[in-house]
Structure 1
Amino acid sequence: MSLITREPTHAERRLRQRRSHELLGEFLALGEEKDLPVLDWRVTEFALVGGARGVDRTQRRVAFESWTAALDLGRWEDRESPTGHVHLHAYTENWQGRRVSVAVMAGIAPEDPA
């Protein structure tokens, strides 16, 4: 059996962005309600993506873990690059049946040498 796929139309892409945008408002309210760390959020046609940036390595990990738990996202196995950077990812394709993919990411740099 073969599946025929097509490129989404501009209208379908805009609809995905509107869904992500609406969900972002709910996530910001959830963050305030639960006093979660602030993430950088990006709305794309494919997903709503939160990133822990701009804080120290421990705070990035805490932000990642807090949001992953609050949103009940499936966590991927941590990946470490040859330079010692750890990449954290959590994802779901259809967050609570809302037809929005959601991801939270963080990059943890190795400790600064003493």
Structure 2
Amino acid sequence: MSNDTPSLLGPATEQDMTRWQLKGAKVLVELLTHAFHEKLPSLDWRLGTGSSLYGTVQQPTFDSKEKRSAFDRWTSYLDAVRWPEHAGPGGRARLRAKIDDYHGVHITIAADLYDGE
């Protein structure tokens, strides 16, 4: 049984969740190191409790074209599976891509693009 799978004996414990976060943090350090060397744009990263990372294109100085480019570069670099683009209210386009298992961690990359940016 994988260390990330809650036991059939009960729900995940605090120790389980901390162990999963440590795994995510280790992968995040690896990703940031590669991003630095590959000159990938920075993302706003969030670490989840279930071996998960969530990277968002958040640069306030980027227009929609630059945000899309940052999203495209990260998803290409990670070979992430892109979800269909979702059009939201106010001219927003939501971009999402995921990797189910990157060294044991689930990764989502996201960007919200707005008309007029």
Class of the TM-score when normalised by the shorter of the 2 chains: 0.7 to 0.9
Task: Provide the secondary structure at the position in 2 that maps to 1:66.
Answer: helix
Counterpart check, 1:16 vs 2:20 = yes
One of 65, 74, 87 as aligned partner of 1:80: 87
Q: Which residue identity is paired with 2:48?
A: T
User: Structure 2 length normalisation: TM-score?
Assistant: 0.84
State TM-score, norm by structure 1: 0.86
Q: Would you tell me which structure has more strand in proportion to its own residues?
A: 2
How big is the alpha-carbon RMSD for the aligned residues of Structure 1 and Structure 2? 1.6
Moved over 4 A (4+): none
The answer for the alignment partner of 1:40 in structure 2 is 44
Q: CA deviation at 1:83?
A: 2.2
Instruction: List per-residue Cα deviations over 1:50-74 (Å, max 9, x = no partner).
Output: 1001222111111100000101111
How far off its partner does 1:7 sit?
2.8
Runs of 5+ unmatched residues, structure 2: 1-7
After superposition, the C-alpha distances for 1:35-56 in whole angstroms (9 at most, x for unaligned) are 1111111111131111001222
